[in-house]
Chain A
Amino acid sequence: MEKRVTFSSTTVGLLFALPMLLLIFVFFYWPSAQAVYWAFTLEQPWGGGNAWVGFDNFRQLLSDPVYWGAISRSLVFALSSTAIAMGMALILALLTDREMRGHKIYRSVFIWPYAIAAPALGLAFRFILAPEAGLLSIINQVWPGLWNPALDGKDAMIAVIVAFSWKYIGYNFIFFLSALQGIPRSLTEAAAMDGSGPLRRIFDMQLPLLTPTLFFLLVINITESFQDSFGIVDVMTQGGPARATELMVYKIYFDGFKGLDYSGAAAQSIILMLLVILLTIFQFRFIERRVHYK
């Protein structure tokens, strides 16, 4: 879409964009370029600048089983939390959209989880799911030692996934509900007139019309699970026990800022950046084909 009426002063136009351009140059393009430089070089232990090492950093990384562990854990985390968060949000949105009594309360409360900072809900869930106090400790009273996220890697992963999914139910709910409310009421009424019940309408009308939103949220949830998981992991498990919850961003943070291995962390960043870019491109391909029903 283009404006028919425009201003012609190039100087004023550039001046308006200048602050933003300066910021993204200093904090986005320059650092990204530097990450590429670091990823292909190695800092000399006795100073004297960086030596060019080509793909060595990547080769080292990709032959490291610990790194592959972080990738596969990130995928497990991304897929299961996305499935839980999107599935539950979809059900809740479909039912809230029926506008039964009290739907205003549901519409408001289901959004609340998204307002909570990831580390804050991490701390809350650390207490709720703690083995010796909190809510889930009852399990251990009945079957001692069954649940312990501090020692059992699987339990820790479940705890992190639960905390993250809880927050993103709120997020997905907002998008699902607004998409559902965009479906014209006449369409629903026509379907009802033709004799389809509420369940039939969900599967044959609402879900097909929601596909663009579904794809959009799928990509957003996966990318968010890469980044927003950091606060939860850092507060709940710190990557432990025994690396069981060490996700990709946490490993970058740990290697780069605790281990001071900038080249390795930069190479990891590049891989993660490529992954996120791929997902975004995938998303745009689907958004181009989205259904318009206005």
Chain B
Amino acid sequence: MKYLSLIALFALLFFAACQDDDDPVQTGDIATTIQFRAEYDDTDLAIQSATYAYPTGAELKATLFQYYVSDLTLIAADSSEVELSEIELIRYDDATADNIEERTYDVPAGDYIGLRFGLGVKPELNALDPNNFAADDPLNENEFWNSTARYVFAKIEANADLENDGTFDTGLSYHMGSDALYSIVTFTGSFTLDGDNDPQLIVTSDVLKALSDGMDTFDIADPEKQRVHGGNQAVATEIWERLAGQFELLIQ
């Protein structure tokens, strides 16, 4: 009986010792958060509360910045791909919120060499009407023009003080989107996901860099260029191209 107790105690100690308490490296799925960070001229975007200088001398208060991300995908070291999400709507419209939108996905542990997404609604989804989705789905009717113009891929809205008289009384509203504008954004950068000090993946976008690249600046004083909705996409093509070209991936 005495030996039996000792054997039981030994067995308990043995199994307790087998507990993995100091080796967090995982081989299964890793909960991975991607931050989408919005900026204006390399500073955190603050909806409504901040006054931003515009290159033409005007000042802006941003009221809305949003864009769709299609087929958000991680590219593995062996060139295989892990699709994280088919569609996301990244939106900054709340004066009480910060400039970071987060999405968390279960990602297989492993080595990765890049990230890719489509800016806008990919053509397969852009062909579907909002009635195919729940009213709270990213592809809801509020982001849909009509059966010909389809979904609004990105919106930038602001109120401008063009005369520098302290009143932000000129509305700016740039709504962009069409299959022709759909753009693939690809980043390269190596990182490992194993559950142990995984890196923070941050996708940054800058409203000012969409409106001005330092050389060319969108003329917000021109009444013809203060509202772009639906059919006059040609007016905003330069905004769209700059928007698609200014994303950055930070791996921290």
Q: A and B from one assembly? A: no
